[in-house]
Structure 1
Amino acid sequence: MTRYRTGLVYGVAAYVIWGLLPLYWGALGETRAFEIISHRAVWSLLVCFIALAFRKEFRSAFKALKNPRTLALLALTSGLLSANWAIYIWSVTVNRVVEASLGYYITPLVNVAFGVFMLREKMRPLQWAAVSVAAIGVAALTFDFGHLPWIAIGLAVSWGLYSVIKKSLPVTALQGLTVETLIAMFPTLTYLSMLQVNGDAAFGNSLWLSLGLAGAGIMTVAPLLFFNGSTVRLPLSVVGLLQYITPTIMFIIGVTVNGEAMPLARWIGFFAIWVALIFLGSDLWKSGRASNQGIAQS
């Protein structure tokens, strides 16, 4: 298998796993969203440690702890990542996967906006067209929901800010995730300990549920490793186009598996977003380059 095809397999695998995660979180039943998030952080840290040991990157990962600026920014990204996980998993537990998929559809558009306002980048004509059409889509969805699509906006903004900050840090995705989950350990373990003491924890109630919560670590880190394998083998323009696999799978799950409502106004809103992404994808392909921002998912 050629290097390009191997990268393509890794990239598709990463985005398909991310897209199927709503089924995984949904299979955890009535478990509290914050308990799922907490277990995701704890078991992800364990899997990160194993992966770092295997790749012999422990020393590189923890160099970040010696640099006050890097450590402070990783503390900030840890908070943004936790917020993103919280919104995402909560949206699954309340059967709002379609709106969550919208968040990951509009993330590249939000990144364009961040590039303009935070990094002083200039927008190209197709990017202007994409943002304008997307604004129409968001307006249609706001009309349909009766309020702004806060889940989608929260996911896109938290992940967009996370990506912008991570872009400036001298760590790999795996190293960064290790430090971020390590920073989150104190509140996470405190919360899980309180649940256990009060007898409210889902973990330990059944073998399969406990294994499912523990498996959250593998389900978080494995696609990240596949993603890293794809980025070193594929042009970033290709990786940037592959990212739409994830929200598309999520959208299909929301509509077909969860049976979430899709009235006409919602279809119009999503259609506008898809047209905007065609403009953005065309610009991405035409320019022959893609930003790292927002390509990986949560």
Structure 2
Amino acid sequence: MTPGPTPGRGVPFGLLMGVGAYTIWGLFPIYFKVVGEVAALTVLAHRIVWSMVFLALVLTLKRNWRRVRTTLRDRPLMGRLALSSLMIALNWGIFIVAVERARVLDASFGYFISPLVSVALGVVVLGERLRRREWIAVGLAGIGIAYRVAASGTVPWIGITLALSFAFYGLMRKTTTVDAVEGLFIEAALLAPLATIYLALVADPFGPAAGTLPAAWLQVLLVVSGPVTALPLILFVAAARRIPLAMLGLLQFITPSGQFLLAAFAYQEPVAGATLASFICIWCGLALYAFDLAVRQRKQHDRGR
């Protein structure tokens, strides 16, 4: 389990690491656009395999293999990690599809509502109680989703699937006692056999030979998917150990904001009136949620004096 935040001198460094992690996640569409000529399932398979390889190197440098071996002997824990690996694979795959189909705006929508979906899951699954502001925030998100469905006549399945898969992933990982890096390595290792078999059977495991990018560059970019996946996670872990949870919770909105800006301005995805109205409802809910986090953090700080 990741240790609690360490107050004092580490906070500025932790804040920098947190901003770095969420900014990299927010810029992910750029990377997946570049490798967009490769089939989504092939990109996903590479991401799984090379994430496992890179994280194995990180674990070797950190000398953390003993904790991995301890986790591997814990059957109930491995069962939960097996389930969480399916959720993160689904999340990764849908995100790659969203970018390749020019649906980055829908991906942004999903990651904006994800924190509020997590709050709702806490009520339904864990029996947590919400304060009034949290109920209003979740309600505003629900209104935003319902309005978009009613106005467009279509369900934003990409956004909803991303939000649900990530929220369930967070819920499953909340019940584990394994660090983020070790946990992601085990999840990738559980998925790697299927990913490797797929790459061995697919006709073009490194993408088309006559694509817009030279084949060698494309191969390098696919291998780089491992560090691209692991680096923000490592920065996130560094941040989580140094800054308050409420501050980390506020930083998470950097990711969907970056994706929204890329979709609207870099990729020129249309932002229709109904889409914008639904985003405004969700933004209002998130603003209320962020305010509630800040109030709780201040009260905890005052009590700790």
Same fold (TM over 0.5): yes
Would you say the 8 A contact 1:174–1:224 is kept in 2?
A: yes
Structure 1 residue aligned with 2:122: 115
1:37 matched to 2:48? The reply is no
SS of 1:184's partner is: helix
- The corresponding residue for 2:190 is 183
5 Å-filtered alignment, 1:59-70, equals 59-70=66-77
Counterpart CA distance in 1 for 2:208 and 2:196 is: 13
Residues 85-234 of structure 1: pairs in structure 2 closer than 5 A = 85-195=92-202, 198-199=203-204, 201-202=206-207, 206-234=215-243
Cα gap change, 1:203 to 1:14, in 2 (>3 Å): farther
Which position in structure 2 is the counterpart of 1:264?
Answer: 273
Contact kept? 1:203, 1:210, Cα under 8 Å: no
Matched letter for residue 225 of structure 2: A
Matched letter for residue 104 of structure 1: Y
1:190-221 Cα offsets, whole Å, 9 max, x none, are: 110011xx346418761111111011000100
Q: Distance in 1 between matches of 2:66 and 2:242?
A: 25
Aligned position for 1:235: 244
Q: CA deviation at 1:6?
A: 0.3
What CA distance in whole angstroms lies between the structure 1 residues aligned with 2:137 and 2:288?
Answer: 5
Cα distance, 1:62 vs structure 2:
2.5
Q: Which runs of 5+ in 2 are unaligned?
A: 1-7, 299-305
Q: Distance in 1 between matches of 2:69 and 2:131?
A: 39
2:264·2:271 contact (CA, 8 Å) conserved in 1?
A: yes
Measure the CA separation in 2 of the matches of 1:47 and 1:220: 9
Structure 1 gaps of 5+ residues are 290-298
Read off the aligned partner of 2:281 and give its amino acid letter.
A
TM-score by length of 1: 0.93
Cα gap change, 1:152/1:116 in structure 2, threshold over 3 Å: closer, same or farther? Answer: same
Q: What is the identity, as a one-letter code, of the residue corresponding to 2:129?
A: K
Kindly tell me the number of residue pairs found equivalent between the two proteins: 287
| Alignment match, 2:26 | 19
Measured against aligned partners, the alpha-carbon deviations of 1:150-197 in whole angstroms (never above 9, x if no partner) come to: 1111011111111111111110010110100000011100110011xx
Cα distance per residue 1:55-113 (max 9 Å; x no partner): 11111022111111011111111111110111111100000000101111001100111
Aligned alpha-carbon RMSD (Å)? 1.5
Match status 1:76 vs 2:83? yes
Distance 2:248 2:282 in 1: 20
SS at match of 1:130: helix
Q: Which amino acid aligns with 1:238?
A: M
The answer as to whether partners of 1:203 and 1:213 remain within 8 angstroms in 2 is no
Change (3 A) 1:200 1:218: closer
SS of 1:48's partner is: helix
The percentage of counterpart residues that share the same residue type is: 35
2:104·2:260 contact (CA, 8 Å) conserved in 1? Answer: yes
1:36-67 Cα deviation digits (max 9, x unpaired):
11100111001100111111111102211111
